[in-house]
Amino acid sequence: GSGPGPGPGSLADFILTEKLGSGTYATVYKAYRKTDSREAVAVKVVSKKSLNKASMENLLTEIEILKTVRHPHIVQLKDFQWDSENIYLILEWCSGGDLSRFIRSRRILPERVARRFLQQIACSLKFLHEKNISHLDLKPQNILLSGSVLKLADFGFAQYMSPWDEQSALRGSPLYMAPEMVCRRQYDARVDLWSVGVILYETLFGRAPFASRSFAELEEKIRSDKPIELPAGARVSRDCRDLLLRLLDRDPDSRISFEEFFLHPFVDLEHMPSAESLGKAVSLVLRAVQKDQEGERAAALSLYCSALEHFVPAIHYETDRQRKEVLRQKVNQYVSRAEELKALVASDNRISFERAKSSRDILREGPLVVMLCALQEDCGLEDYETLDLYQQSLGELLLALAGKSLCLCIHSENHPGASSVSILTLKGVKSELCIFTTDW
């Protein structure tokens, strides 16, 4: 950054245009760089009055470090400058507004969309966690959208800006703050995990867990010892429910750890859409084709399933329409072959199916029907409610049939795009229920 300069003159390289918003500590403007490129940026103006001298010096040191941070899901800090009144942060411009506005415009998000957003947040947090950087002020207003890509903003600054002002009145929104932060006890990086839980809850149910009609009601909910519960009738997957309740544990010592969070099956960073998705998918499918040609059906099926778990995110990641369409066609071919192999493997040895060579791989959580739902979404075939109900009812049927082995044929007239063979399993239940759905 440049040294202190006289007033706004220190921003001589930029033309400030509209005011985007203002908070307790800062005001944000859209601006353009005064060069031929006319690059759009966001300029965050932090008032020095909100910081004591030590905090300000530490913040400037931290900003210098943050200038080197490069991550696809973190808003890039391009530069910083300061004068006698303010610190100016020159930030990457995100055209899609913030996550708060996105949620409000849609009320609630389907679980598959909430999960993709969560994966992006988790990916950025993992990167920061490895660098020993905490956010401490995670909320939908601090998560920006650039297309369908989420980017974390305002990290690294919150630790210098106490949530309490001089009169010990709470600043900012306590809706997203961990109870240990609001109750003014000791707090650490684990508050970020609570905030992630609140954000996931809000994307799924349209309101934060502590949403209240008055500050008194809010304070009562925060200070209560009552465990967080999901809304009555909430229809979310078992993994999603497990993660929500473990993130929203009032006690930071029993809350899910960062390591457990990054490895959680609902977060599933291994299969999040990324630049690597296609490479992983192609590598696995080549091995699948080889095993298929060699007649090793179970091994080929396992590899096709693994490849599809990377192909679906690869389709989401691809932005070019033509390449997206080619991918879809390829994936449909692999799904068809996986269906054939699944039927063949099952008929080879239906009774001792769970002892089949690669059954543990084949029967991993995230059955093929889930992938087909994702493919449906990409191919524009929408009957999500019915499909969700379909999966839920099959899960309940499996519970009822625990301890028995059964093979059912189901006519999928309601799911023309999902004519598939799917295998569902339940943790702790040794028997499997094989469901074959076909277009008759």
Q: Give binding residues for ATP as ranges.
A: 44
- Assign residue 295 a region (left: φ > 0; alpha: ψ between -120 and 50; beta: otherwise): left
The verdict on whether 137 is a catalytic residue reads: yes
Q: CB burial class (10 A; 0-12, 13-18, 19+) of residue 178?
A: buried
Q: Say how many residues make up the chain.
A: 440
Would you state the structure tokens that stand for residue 280, as one six-digit string?
Answer: 């992983």
The C-alpha atoms of residue 326 and residue 315 are separated, in whole angstroms, by 10
Contact in structure between 222 and 174 (CB atoms under 8 Å): yes
- Quickly list DSSP for 358-393: THHHHT-SS-HHHHHHHHHHHHT---HHHHHHHHHH
Provide CB contacts within 8 A for 9, sequence distance 6+: 83
What three-state secondary structure class fits 252? coil
Cα(288)–Cα(278) distance, integer angstroms: 15
CA dihedral defined by 352, 354, 357, 362, rounded to 10 degrees? 140
Provide the β-strand partners of residue 143: 152
DSSP H or E stretch at residue 86: strand 86-92
State the Cα–Cα distance between residues 27 and 18, nearest whole angstrom: 11
Backbone angles phi, psi at 228, to 5 degrees: -70, 135
In terms of Cα–Cα distance, which of 309, 302, 272 is closest to 287? 302
Name residue 29's beta-bridge partners: 19, 43
Burial 59-83 (b: 16+ CB within 10 A, else e): beebbeebbebeeebbbbbbbbbbb
Of 137, 154, 192, 292, catalytic: 137
Please, which residues have CB within 8 angstroms of residue 366's CB and are 6 or more apart in sequence?
Answer: 265, 268, 271, 309
Give me the phi and psi of 203, to 5 degrees please: -65, -35
